[in-house]
Amino acid sequence: MTTLDGRVAVVCGASRGIGKGIAVELAAAGARVVAVGRTERSGTATITGSLEETVAEITAAGGSATAVGCDATDEKSVASLFDKIAGSHGHVDVLVNSVFNSHQFVATIGVPFWELPMAAWHEVVEVGTKSAYLASVAAAPLMLRTANASGYGAGTGGLIVNISGRGAERYRYNVVYGVGKAALDRLTRDMADELRPHGVSVVSLWPNVTRTENLDRDPERSRASFGDLEQLETPRYSGRAVVALASDPAVTERSGKRFWVAELGAHYGFTDENGRLHELPE
């Protein structure tokens, strides 16, 4: 892997979970990270994690990060976010769409669609999928400037990573989850077609079950569902996959496709924290 020194990386959903892990790893690789989320400060939400904590962890490790509060489902808020980024950085190299309300989603797992409240559709499709579309729409013009502004070679005009999952192709958790993830993967394929002539790549990233703050809130229940929590992937494992993709001069060959995090780990040779290896899920 090459370093990402000086590149501008926007991570939507960076206050906790997989998004936070990705933001931390991008900063560790030298990127200037813009951490985006709704929970700006500690103690302002009922669940663990905030942009303040994410930026503090990055800064303590010697990285560069700024926090920007944003409702990723609101078109005006997202447009304002990228106007600020255009003013401060001028362009965007990497966009990660990792917005997902896992705290609210847990209660809907395994519930038949006819018993699900319509709020479940909002939490998955409106929050998860719509936010990825809005951010990509607003980021694309800034990503088209990347090759000229940064002086990188052909084919490195930018990278969009959508955090998706196996529910895109087979039943997982419930119906709305599958709809949301399938839409994300289709978004990846179609955006890749339109952005390919401009050297911008789009990839869907599939983490396996990941040990986030949400699982640690109720470890007994989590162990009953997923086994030994110490053996699960961590958010930073997904972050290392994004760094590997962003560092790969041949990433355009992967554009429009989906990859398990463990699949990329085997290809690029990175491990999870503490040197752990993860097998490719069945």
> Average pLDDT of 141-158?
64
Q: Is the residue at 282 inside a domain?
A: no
pLDDT value for 227: 74
Looking up tokens 């800034």 gives: 142
The pTM assigned to this predicted structure is: 0.91
Residue 38, pLDDT score: 86
What total number of domains does the chain contain? 1
Residue at 63 is within a domain: yes
Asked whether the predicted pLDDT for residue 220 surpasses 50, the reply is yes
Q: Which of 152, 171, 173, 177 is catalytic?
A: 177
Q: What local confidence, expressed as pLDDT, does residue 282 receive?
A: 77
Active site residue 171: no
- Which residue would you say has higher pLDDT here, 245 or 221? 245
Host domain of residue 135: 8-275
Is 281 a domain residue? no
Residue 210's DSSP bridge partners are 233
Task: Quote the CA–CA distance of 121 and 125 in Å, as a whole number.
Answer: 6
Residue at 207 is within a domain: yes
Residue type, 138: A
pLDDT band at 102 (very low <50, low <70, confident <90, very high): low
Cα–Cα separations (whole angstroms), residue 4 to 94, 235, 247, 252: 10, 19, 7, 17
Q: What is the pLDDT of residues 175-191, one digit of tens each?
A: 998 999 999 999 999 99
pLDDT at 206: 96
Answer whether residue 108 is part of any domain: yes
**% of the chain with per-residue pLDDT over 90:** 65
Q: Residue 278 in contact with residue 263, Cβ under 8 Å?
A: no
Domain containing residue 235: CATH number = 3.40.50.720
Q: What is the mean pLDDT of the chain?
A: 88
pLDDT digits 0-9 by tens, 224-258: 767 787 888 899 999 999 999 999 999 999 999 99
Instruction: Say what percent of the chain tops pLDDT 70.
Output: 90
Report which of residues 174 and 225 the model is more confident about: 174
Q: Is residue 187 part of a domain?
A: yes
pLDDT in tens, 191-206: 999 999 999 999 999 9
CB 59 within 8 A of CB 23: no
Closest residue by Cα to residue 3 from 35, 20, 28 = 28
